[in-house]
Structure 1
Amino acid sequence: MPLPPVVSLTDCADPNALARQSTRIAALFGSTPTVLPLDGPDPEGAAALTLLDLLRSTDLIGGPSRPVVVLVNIAPRDGHWPNGVPFCSFRHGNHLVVSTLNQRVLAPLATYLGLEDVQVTDVREVLEAAAADWAELTPAEIEEMVRTQFRSLWYAPLLARWLVDGRPVPARPTAVRPPVAGDVRIAVVDNFGNCKLDRPAAELPGYDTSESLLVRNRIDGRDIRVRCYDRLPDVPLGEPGITVGSSGVGFAELVVRGGSAAEAFGLRQGDRVFHLTS
């Protein structure tokens, strides 16, 4: 049976890093991966929504589907580890995810996909177990991979391949925490300028298709009252609206029909749109 295709989300996004990762993954899995660089102002928020969307896209198939491997390399911005945050793994149906242990990235999966825990690995422990059982690795090679600052290149693809092969990789379960309620942020600005928010429309206090919400306008600093709509086609041409978008599970979007909400409001990825008050 052929090995599954690989999709990689990473904040190591310069051309040199992307080329090396693509080549190593291709050598391990036999096909060129899809590598998505996340190098915007808030890569954690973008990765959280994108990972949720990737896994959601494997649903509604109507029958059996082929497995996919997803690699996620987004280091927490507030973590303190001896040599970087550890890597973990979990499965969604027959799909495998290998990710840095980033609670902000994983949290939406707890709420919207029912993810309870992940299997956390230690690089040295895994490499030494592999060398003792199934992999041809010298002590010097193990030490090189343990000490490297580019573990998403040297370690994560190996871990994914070994898990796909059913190797007995040592790991320990760690709970995934649901997201903490707080400010609503822009997770992704799409190519149309629509601002994908990190919360379902139904969870926005005051959201109703007959009501409006105050949205921060960073161009002149004055809030603008924006009407809520069910879908983008319901928004009048040229007008702003808050709708149920295409991402997540009914996640909200700030849009301008026929225009760019990001440009109209001076917003970008990671910006707060309004504050949850209840």
Structure 2
Amino acid sequence: MTPLPVVSLTDCADPNALARQSARIATLFGATPTVVPLSGPDPEGAAALTLLDLLRSTDLIGGPTQPLLVLVNIAPRDGHWPNGVPFCYFRHGEHLVVSTVNPRVLAPLASYLGLAEVQVTDVREVLEAAAAGWADLTPAQVEEVVRTQFRSLWYVPLLARWLTDGRPVPAQPMAVHPPAAQHVRVAVVDNFGNCKLDRPAVDLPGYDSARSLAVHNRREGRRVRVRCYDRLPDVPLGEPGITVGSSGIGFAELVVRGGSAAELFGLRQGDQVLHLTS
């Protein structure tokens, strides 16, 4: 088997968990994966933007691409599932994504990449089908994987391998819908302190390079006016601004040129900064 590039986004991010996942994925796919830990205050928002950016980064190539496998393990924070949320899969071009069924993570793909549905799997159904058809698994081993609390270690890499091998994995389609939230949040704070927002700049109410928007300053507990600019180089040195950033499809960024917007405004991942109807 030709080694398949694997990128894993996960909130199981302690060193022990990362080591086990890396070893299992490498064993199954023949190459050491890139495991990206998402353990901040809002891993769902960070995963949503990171997954969108990851798939977008495979565009504008100018020729054939190498198939990529992306694993996403970010469980919804709702607690409604008896042994964890189900896992689903979908394809983006030649690339395969296996993910937890997390509407907040998947919704931006509906809006900006045209994702209409995913295929939802049941752990027991898939493992029993595999054991009966193509995998050397005993009933006791099937039960062990079904009951485990670390399904992103034991189940997801197997599911991904079977899908890349073209196995007839049973699944049911589920529609994916665009995000309904009206608040604009900080999705990612980059290493410069720029706050990457979770909406395109053109979707912000009143966004225009000649205007300003009311942004929540968490440090001061009030809203302050911040000027809009086309690009980061247009922002005066040392001043804050809202620009079209590098993420998503023209997603907005709250920046301070030569400084840290996160520090100036007291913002972190998941914080609300704007309201779409304001």
CA distance in 2, matches of 1:184, 1:30: 40
Partner of 1:210: 210
| 2:37 is the alignment partner of 1:37 | yes
For 1:168, what is the secondary structure of its paired residue?
coil
For 2:153, what is the secondary structure of its paired residue?
helix
For 1:223, what is the secondary structure of its paired residue?
strand
Partner of 1:16: 16
Return the TM-score normalized by structure 2. Answer: 0.99
TM-superposed CA distance for 1:277, in Å, is: 1.6
Matches within 5 A, 1:121-160: 121-160=121-160
CA distance in 1, matches of 2:103, 2:161: 24
CA distance in 1, matches of 2:272, 2:219: 14
Identity %: 83
- 2:89 maps to a residue whose letter is S
TM-superposed CA distance for 1:218, in Å, is: 1.4
TM-superposed CA distance for 1:184, in Å, is: 0.3
For 2:237, what is the secondary structure of its paired residue?
coil
Partner of 2:110: 110
Contact 2:4 2:30 in 1 (8 A): no
- 1:256 maps to a residue whose letter is V
Cα deviation, 1:146-177, whole Å, max 9, x if unaligned, reads 00000000000000000000001000100011
Partner of 2:97: 97
For 2:255, what is the secondary structure of its paired residue?
strand
Aligned residues: CA RMSD: 0.8
- 2:236 maps to a residue whose letter is P
TM-superposed CA distance for 1:82, in Å, is: 2.0
- Runs of at least 4 residues off by over 3 Å: none
Partner of 1:77: 77
Unaligned runs of 5+ in 2: none
CA distance in 2, matches of 1:79, 1:117: 23
- 1:210 maps to a residue whose letter is A
Matches within 5 A, 1:158-173: 158-173=158-173
TM-superposed CA distance for 1:117, in Å, is: 0.3
TM-superposed CA distance for 1:79, in Å, is: 4.3
Unaligned runs of 5+ in 1: none
Partner of 2:267: 267
TM-superposed CA distance for 1:94, in Å, is: 0.1
Matches within 5 A, 1:164-183: 164-183=164-183
Return the TM-score normalized by structure 1. Answer: 0.99
For 2:114, what is the secondary structure of its paired residue?
coil
- 2:67 maps to a residue whose letter is P
- 1:24 maps to a residue whose letter is R
